[in-house]
Amino acid sequence: MTADGGATLRRVPIESSRPLVTFAWTRLGLTLMSVALVVALGFPYWGRLAVVLAGVALPWSLVNLLLARRAPALALTPLVAIGDMLMLITIELVAQETYAAVRFMAIAFLAVHAHFQGERLGLLVAGFACAGLVGVSIFTGGGQVQGRLLVFYEVIFTAAALSTAALVGGFRTAESASRLRARELTRRTMRREGEIRRQISEALHDGPVQEMVGLDMALAAARREADREGAPRTGELLAEARAITERNVRSLRDEMIDLGPYAFKEMSYGAALERCLPVWQRRYGLRTSLQIDPHELPSQTEGDLFRITQEAVTNAVKHGSASHVSIALRCDERIELSIVDDGSGFGEVDPLESTEPGHIGLASMRERAELLHGSLEIESTAEGSTVIVRAPLPTPED
């Protein structure tokens, strides 16, 4: 999709799969309610309609619920929207008396699908629905609605369906275009951040750290001379100065480690993490285990993986009160990074839902995963959380 709102027939991106799951549960609830109403009210056509609802619509709803939970990308395809419209067409074919109810459901479903698909795909789905449902009316003779009243109703339905798809889809497409522009700015900022981190780290290493190391050596020599000349007070002062120097050297080196492996081209993702372990132990009392496949990756790729890991560990400790984190990186046919903690998780909050406040760090993790042309998944329970990043191996051109 282009930044100006989508010049191609591609669906708009979504931030979280939660709306898909909610819609799937709603679809299932409406199906069960329809079956119950048809049986309870005992319509003359209840038998054949109940067969369609229970034998076709109910399994279709269950399949869509499974897709929404396990494979959101498949649940977002336009084929699901087409399937919903075919279901409504089938219901009206077997029971022409459901004319009004089918039209109401079609408008509601088209609005939701336009939200998921965007303006262009939403209009295509609406056009298919209008053609199919109006075609059913022509084929069956309109059922209880005849003549000019049927024409009036069908014109109003077609106008309402197309207008709903155009408006809802248009609003969603415009919103997505704004988000895409914001994401592009964020990605440029992240790239520039990596350059600045490298510059800062090199400046620290070549300047203050070297000066402090030299000062520490000078103080150590002065302390030895003071001890030989029998000046205990001078020796104590020098020892205190040296302790301050050592603390500052350690602090500067910790900050350099926090800058990540792209601070120095010779430092790999695994080496950066190994240097982080004592820092995390000292700061958070955190136990960690690493399983890193040896594989040479571009420094920018290792930097993005490191920042994702760093953010995940920080979240696990600060927000989940984790005491142990397991980090694994596999690089066979693709990159797969997993960070598993034993914290308290995110509760009922969807960590990737854009409307939730306080999740800027999580949003940056997702952006970095997308910079790698990959995806970010977060699974959370009361026993802990799992962060998984999957991305293709970078090509030499990357």
10-residue mean pLDDT profile of the chain (398 residues): values are 44 71 93 89 81 91 92 88 93 87 93 89 92 87 74 91 90 73 66 64 61 68 67 65 70 62 62 81 85 82 86 85 91 90 75 53 79 86 88 74
For residue 76, give Cα distances in angstroms to 26, 95, 206, 239: 16, 29, 52, 67
List, by residue range, all CATH 3.30.565.10 domains of the chain. 266-398
Give pLDDT, residue 397. Answer: 55
Q: Are 109 and 88 in contact (CB under 8 A)?
A: yes
- Predicted TM-score (pTM) of this structure: 0.54
pLDDT at residue number 363: 75
The dihedrals phi and psi of 110, each to the nearest 5 degrees, come to -65, -35
Pure H helices in the chain: 18-41, 46-52, 58-70, 72-75, 78-94, 99-117, 119-140, 147-204, 210-228, 232-258, 269-284, 299-318, 360-371
Q: What b/e string do you get for 272-304 counting C-beta neighbours within 10 Å, with b at 16 or more?
A: bbebbbebbeeebebebeeebeeeebebbbbbb
The alpha carbon of residue 298 and the mean position of all alpha carbons in its chain are separated, in whole angstroms, by: 24
Residues 268, 261 contacting (CB under 8 angstroms): yes
C-alpha to C-alpha distance for 65 and 74, rounded to whole angstroms: 11
pLDDT at 1: 39
Per the CB < 8 A criterion, the answer to whether 126 and 164 are in contact is yes
Overall fold of domain 266-398: Heat Shock Protein 90 (3.30.565)
Query: For residue 249, what pLDDT is reported?
Result: 66
Q: Compute φ and ψ for 183, nearest 5 degrees.
A: -65, -40
Looking at residue 31, its pLDDT comes to: 92
Q: What per-residue confidence (pLDDT) applies to 103?
A: 92
